[in-house]
Chains A and B, each alone.
Chain A
Amino acid sequence: MMNKKQKPMIQEMIFGNPSSRKAWFVFAALAVALLLLPFATEALLGRGWVRIVDFALLYIMLALGLNIVVGYAGLLDLGYIAFFAVGAYCYALLGSPQFGLHLPFWVVLPLGALLACAFGVLLGAPTLRLRGDYLAIVTLGFGEIIRIFLNNLNAPVNITNGPQGINMIDPIRIGGFSLSGTHELFGITFSPVHLYYYLFLCVTLLVIFVSLRLEDSRIGRAWMAIREDEVAASAMGINTRDIKLLAFAMGATFGGAAGGLFAGFQGFISPESFGLTESVMVVCMVVLGGMGNIGGVVLGGALLVLLPEALRNGAGPAQQALFGKTLIDPESLRMLMFGLALVLVMLWRPAGLWPSTQRRRELSPDAEVAHQEQESVYDAAK
């Protein structure tokens, strides 16, 4: 019964137009495709690509979490990876030989998300008055502060094991069923990357569902009101302080949950995984995909994880085809092409690959609102 109510919802988010029979069919096909994806990927491209798809799902979760802060509430957060780190370290500390604690994942994972949520509020509180680029630098600083603490808290008391990282983190276990082992089910062999894929997929769908509900709620509309005009929003009776804090807290919660999953999946974490470049990458995913639009953010997350890997082996053969020989190391060209792709995609679709309908309305040239968003040079020089 519940299912029937939920499905059109998800479908609506994916296709934007509900309840025709064709859409149902497409939805069913999509579900089957998602279920078969890891096996198809492995057969065609190898298991390494299944792992990449796993990471893509993790980053989609992160991007969706950041989307709440950046996309809905319009607050630029350049330190988002800190919440991912908090979740990951929470999981690692409570489920590894570090303290000899081995709490089950269904305790540790929510705890990590909750802790990240608290850190979200902690970050939000002093930044309420800040706008735009000032907010960006403070969030950036916050992200660095968390990383530096994680990196240094091995003395005088060893808490995080410092730069050495935490090893031998417990895998995610459901009952006696470890996701980090290879299992034989229904005559099919599931390796860890497959099992984690299904877990990550479930959590991602949950995050999508929550995001959808939030977008369509009073809170979601309040966020967008703040994004469009904070003063007007507060004049309309929105408690901007609480609503902004809520955005930070919600976004951080998703980040924390993703972090816990990351720790369980990798089995080893160290502070170098949580640097500034990671935060910047997540922002890129949100903006490039289409701020505020769940489909766009999912697309952006998937693309920015898959693209560098797809380029890994593409640069060598492409040179061979073009010039008949390898002129430049393929590995130096890979990141170059990635940077170029970022620029070109943004130039091609300035509002993101798949912008939200509302944003698109604002940006279409014939709409009245188009020129109200900014009164700076951006309009005048055109």
Chain B
Amino acid sequence: METLLQQIINGLVQGSVYALVALGYTMVYGILGLINFAHGEVVMVGAMVALSAIMLLINSGLPPLLVLLAGMIVAATACMALGYAIERVAYRPLRNAPRLAPLITAIGVSIVLQNLAMIIWGREYHAFPQLLPNSPHMLAGAVINEVQIIIVLAALAVMAGLLVLVHRTRLGRAMRAVAENPAAAALMGVDINAVISVTFMTGSALAALAGIMVSANYGIVHYYMGAILGLKAFTAAVLGGIGNLRGAMLGGVLLGLIESLGAGYIGDLSGGFFGSHYQDVFAFFVLIAVLIFRPSGLLGERVAERA
């Protein structure tokens, strides 16, 4: 029983990590209908920049939480600039291009960012300093530590914040207008380019936050960390219904749970034939099954016929 509870906690934490990244994907997709495949690398850059900033400040005598906050601000700023630049350089000129053209530039940008990070921060794995409290707490026989609780709460808070932003603010209304009908939005005086830039910058700031949370949880940072994380988050976003903020959260948590329960119980379920090496197979089968019955994800709206 405590094993099951522990597996659920594992899934919840892992899922919240996915959700944090997936929210950034979905944010951009909701407005632009474009998958920002370089998002995973922005997460990595966020973690790396935060690490550099923290290493500068760590011996300054400031309290650890303040150091982390400073790192977060620096990383978010850097990522916002990066997000703006990526949109400006790699996506904006291709708005009239065939649908797959931005996919290729996104892949190109990912390769560039990865190798740039390798040149700047080296090929080694780096330790991410333990600035958040991480003492374990027992919960009916299962263990959870403070960093993990913070990650779950952060994911929920970010989702709530984004919902408020999109549905309760002027900027959010502009975003929705652009998503609905860009031409009409432009006619109504919405500065489309500005809205899109802000969307990208918001998504990138979230990526920085996600990068820091991931690094704080696992304690290591590497220039290659973005690729796999981006892929999982993309899967999560699609599972929940890409473009939908609640869907990203739901998809993330579900994917996390599927993975941990899959890895934990697939052996028993299949009579020992499949082991934890089929964890991803299990996850993808669930995804395919969901998409067969709900072709636009769990919470996604029906895709317009000519999207």
- A touches B in complex, CB < 8 A: yes
Interface residues of A (CB under 8 A from B): 70, 76, 126, 129-134, 136-138, 140-142, 144-145, 148-149, 151-152, 156, 229-231, 276, 280, 283-284, 287-288, 291, 328-329, 332-333, 335-336, 338-343, 346-347, 350-351, 359, 363, 373-382
The verdict on B63 contacting chain A, using a C-beta distance below 8 Å, is no
B25-65 residues at the A interface, CB under 8 angstroms: 29, 31-33, 35
**B287-A132 in contact (CB<8A):** no
**B193-A381 in contact (CB<8A):** yes
**B238-A379 in contact (CB<8A):** no
Given that A335-B115, A346-B94 are contacting pairs, would A152 and B278 also be in contact in the complex, using a CB cutoff of 8 Å?
Answer: yes
Given that A346-B104, A376-B32 are contacting pairs, would A339 and B112 also be in contact in the complex, using a CB cutoff of 8 Å?
Answer: yes
Q: Mark B158-199, 1 if CB is under 8 A from A, else 0.
A: 000000000000000000001001110110000011001000
Q: How far is the CB of A327 from chain B (nearest CB, A)?
A: 10
Partner of A350, one of B98, B182, B288: B98
**A343-B97 in contact (CB<8A):** no
Given that A342-B111, A343-B112, A347-B94 are contacting pairs, would A141 and B101 also be in contact in the complex, using a CB cutoff of 8 Å?
Answer: no
The verdict on B137 contacting chain A, using a C-beta distance below 8 Å, is no
**B94-A350 in contact (CB<8A):** yes
**B280-A144 in contact (CB<8A):** yes
The verdict on B281 contacting chain A, using a C-beta distance below 8 Å, is yes
**A231-B33 in contact (CB<8A):** no
**B93-A347 in contact (CB<8A):** yes
Given that A284-B107, A343-B109, A382-B95 are contacting pairs, would A332 and B115 also be in contact in the complex, using a CB cutoff of 8 Å?
Answer: yes
The residue in chain B whose Cβ has the minimal distance to the Cβ of A123 is B288
The 6 lowest CB-CB distance pairs between A and B, nearest first, are A339-B111, A342-B108, A350-B97, A380-B182, A141-B284, A343-B108
Q: Mark B87-113, 1 if CB is under 8 A from A, else 0.
A: 001101111111111011101111110
Question: What CA separation (Å) do A376 and B104 show in the bound complex?
Answer: 19
**A131-B303 in contact (CB<8A):** yes
B113-147 residues at the A interface, CB under 8 angstroms: 114-116, 118-119
Q: How far is the CB of B289 from chain A (nearest CB, A)?
A: 9
Question: What CA separation (Å) do A379 and B178 show in the bound complex?
Answer: 12
Question: What CA separation (Å) do A288 and B102 show in the bound complex?
Answer: 11
Residues in chain B near residue A332, CB distance under 8 A: 115, 118-119
Partner of B295, one of A130, A145, A284, A351: A130
Residues in chain A near residue B285, CB distance under 8 A: 145
**A336-B287 in contact (CB<8A):** no
Residues in chain B near residue A336, CB distance under 8 A: 111-112, 115-116, 119
**B297-A144 in contact (CB<8A):** no
**A376-B33 in contact (CB<8A):** yes
Q: Which of B33, B111, B116 has most A Cβ within 10 Å?
A: B111
**A374-B99 in contact (CB<8A):** yes
**B107-A280 in contact (CB<8A):** yes
Given that A76-B100, A287-B103, A380-B185 are contacting pairs, would A339 and B108 also be in contact in the complex, using a CB cutoff of 8 Å?
Answer: yes
Q: How far is the CB of B34 from chain A (nearest CB, A)?
A: 9
Given that A141-B284, A141-B287, A148-B278 are contacting pairs, would A350 and B101 also be in contact in the complex, using a CB cutoff of 8 Å?
Answer: yes
**B101-A134 in contact (CB<8A):** no
**B115-A287 in contact (CB<8A):** no
**A341-B116 in contact (CB<8A):** no
Given that A126-B292, A148-B280 are contacting pairs, would A377 and B116 also be in contact in the complex, using a CB cutoff of 8 Å?
Answer: no
**A381-B242 in contact (CB<8A):** no
Question: What CA separation (Å) do A338 and B112 show in the bound complex?
Answer: 8
Residues in chain A near residue B234, CB distance under 8 A: 137
Residues in chain B near residue A76, CB distance under 8 A: 100
Q: How far is the CB of A148 from chain B (nearest CB, A)?
A: 5
Partner of B196, one of A126, A339, A346, A381: A381
Residues in chain B near residue A363, CB distance under 8 A: 96-98
Residues in chain B near residue A291, CB distance under 8 A: 98, 100
Residues in chain A near residue B185, CB distance under 8 A: 380
Given that A133-B35, A287-B100, A351-B101 are contacting pairs, would A381 and B291 also be in contact in the complex, using a CB cutoff of 8 Å?
Answer: no
Beyond A137-B238, A336-B119: 17 further Cβ-contacts under 8 Å? Answer: A129-B292, A133-B238, A134-B238, A134-B297, A137-B287, A141-B288, A144-B284, A156-B273, A329-B119, A333-B115, A339-B115, A342-B108, A343-B105, A350-B94, A350-B96, A374-B99, A376-B32
The verdict on B1 contacting chain A, using a C-beta distance below 8 Å, is no
Q: How far is the CB of B203 from chain A (nearest CB, A)?
A: 15
Residues in chain B near residue A351, CB distance under 8 A: 97-98, 101
**A346-B33 in contact (CB<8A):** no
Residues in chain A near residue B109, CB distance under 8 A: 339, 343
Q: How far is the CB of A297 from chain B (nearest CB, A)?
A: 13
Question: What CA separation (Å) do A152 and B92 show in the bound complex?
Answer: 43
Question: What CA separation (Å) do A138 and B287 show in the bound complex?
Answer: 8
Residues in chain B near residue A373, CB distance under 8 A: 98
Q: List, sorted by A's number, 9 A–B pairs whose CB atoms are closer than 8 Å.
A: A130-B291, A134-B303, A152-B277, A332-B115, A335-B115, A336-B111, A339-B107, A376-B307, A377-B95
Q: How far is the CB of A161 from chain B (nearest CB, A)?
A: 15
Question: What CA separation (Å) do A5 and B231 show in the bound complex?
Answer: 49
Partner of B277, one of A148, A156, A335, A338: A148
Q: How far is the CB of A159 from chain B (nearest CB, A)?
A: 13
Q: How far is the CB of A118 from chain B (nearest CB, A)?
A: 18
Q: How far is the CB of A363 from chain B (nearest CB, A)?
A: 7
Question: What CA separation (Å) do A141 and B242 show in the bound complex?
Answer: 16
Q: How far is the CB of A149 from chain B (nearest CB, A)?
A: 7
Question: What CA separation (Å) do A76 and B98 show in the bound complex?
Answer: 13
Q: How far is the CB of A163 from chain B (nearest CB, A)?
A: 10
**A133-B242 in contact (CB<8A):** yes
The verdict on B296 contacting chain A, using a C-beta distance below 8 Å, is yes
Residues in chain B near residue A145, CB distance under 8 A: 280-281, 284-285
Residues in chain A near residue B196, CB distance under 8 A: 377, 381
Question: What CA separation (Å) do A76 and B288 show in the bound complex?
Answer: 16
Q: How far is the CB of A219 from chain B (nearest CB, A)?
A: 22
Residues in chain B near residue A338, CB distance under 8 A: 111
The residue in chain A whose Cβ has the minimal distance to the Cβ of B29 is A133
Question: What CA separation (Å) do A288 and B278 show in the bound complex?
Answer: 34
Question: What CA separation (Å) do A164 and B116 show in the bound complex?
Answer: 32
Residues in chain B near residue A340, CB distance under 8 A: 108, 112
Given that A129-B292, A343-B105, A346-B104 are contacting pairs, would A377 and B182 also be in contact in the complex, using a CB cutoff of 8 Å?
Answer: yes
